[in-house]
Amino acid sequence: MPDPNEERLKYLFNAAAIEVPKAEEGQKRKFKGTAYAGGRVDGHWYWGRSGVVFDLDGIEIDKPAALLEEHFSSSRIGVVQTVDTNGKIDVAGDFLTNAKAQEIVQDSDDGFPFQMSMMIDPGSIEEVSQGKTVTVNGQVFEGPITIFRQNRIREFTICSTGADRNTSIKAFSGKANPNPTKEDTDVTELEQTKEALKKAETERDNAQAELKQFKAQKRAEDIAALEAELKTQFSADDKTAYTNMDDSVFAFTAKQLRQFSAGIQQQQPAGQQQQAPLANPAFAHLFTHQASAQSGTQSSGNQEHQLSAGAKAFAAQQKGK
């Protein structure tokens, strides 16, 4: 049975230098860097000189994502706010204000050459044999080469070029550890690595839990703002449905609801009440409860809120695409 710690080390990859530009007065310190340039990554301690290519088609990256200090300490030092996966992986974000983050910022100002690193979790791995070619990220690669497909980025980190040679050289330099001169040295290093990995996984899980809580709080605030703007009250089931929507679906749905809410209130001259043309006929029923209220007809108490029903139907339609 493979060692799970060794398995985890297989998916750690060093990246390019990270930039820490000077901040304007009163603003947070920011960072930016290229986590992956879109080409062949070679010289990795496990995957060898034949190299690995990460397929960016459909890659999953949390937004926002945690920026940690080293893979083996996992101190929270920043938040990745934007990610561009058009042919490469460019990231940018803000540093936190804790002591560790400020220490790294100061070291960078003093000229220390930090680098960015990442852990990638492939859904499948394709081996391309000698003499064959494969097109990935708009580039043609000749075998032998390994292709990571259906990828997910699980973490970004800042690491030093002078990484701890006893415990993390495999992860950061892409080279195998030198041959030990004593048996007890090998055992000690393995125990140190196991302990460090266990601590890193715990702190990473804590950071991801905090990010999840932050996203939930932000969505709750957005739903409350939408209620206030539309002058309506969603039920508990409605709020659950909105909370579980994908970010892009919720943003689009909220935009449509605002447009349709404004459109339904527009009236023809001479007191005629007529709904303004809607951009999408599929939403024609969303505000029927408003029209009924204006004509003096009250909706049944147990009838599902038409606004929410339409939004949830739209979300289900988008999810099935």
Q: What is the mean pLDDT of each run of 10 residues along the chain (321 residues)?
A: 58 70 81 88 81 93 85 78 91 91 89 84 93 94 94 83 32 34 53 79 83 88 88 85 87 83 60 48 49 46 50 61 57
CA pair distance 260, 286, nearest whole angstrom: 8
Residue 310 within any structural domain of the chain:
yes
The one-letter code for the residue type at 79 is V
Domain coverage including residue 264: 234-319
Do 173 and 201 fall into the same domain? yes
Do 175 and 251 fall into the same domain? no
Neighbour tally for 153: CB within 10 Å: 22
What integer pLDDT is reported at residue 7 of this predicted model? Answer: 66
Do 240 and 100 fall into the same domain? no
Residue 221 within any structural domain of the chain:
no
Do 198 and 72 fall into the same domain? yes
What integer pLDDT is reported at residue 300 of this predicted model? Answer: 41
Task: Give the count of domains, the chain.
Answer: 2
Residue 183 within any structural domain of the chain:
yes
72 and 167 Cβ atoms separated by less than 8 Å: yes
Q: End of a domain among 155, 182, 215?
A: 215
Residue 70 within any structural domain of the chain:
yes
Do 143 and 283 fall into the same domain? no
What integer pLDDT is reported at residue 53 of this predicted model? Answer: 94
Do 146 and 22 fall into the same domain? yes
Q: Exposure of 296 by Cβ count < 10 A (0-12 exposed, 13-18 middle, 19+ buried)?
A: exposed
Do 45 and 185 fall into the same domain? yes
182 and 171 Cβ atoms separated by less than 8 Å: no
Contacts 24+ apart (CB under 8 A), 241-247: 241/308, 241/311, 241/312, 241/315, 242/308, 242/311, 243/216, 243/219, 245/315, 246/315, 246/318, 246/319, 247/63
Rounded (5°) CA angle 70-74-78: 90
Residue 311 within any structural domain of the chain:
yes
Q: End of a domain among 215, 245, 276?
A: 215
Do 305 and 277 fall into the same domain? yes
Residue 229 within any structural domain of the chain:
no
Q: End of a domain among 147, 180, 215?
A: 215
Residue 118 within any structural domain of the chain:
yes
Residue 220 within any structural domain of the chain:
no
Do 241 and 132 fall into the same domain? no
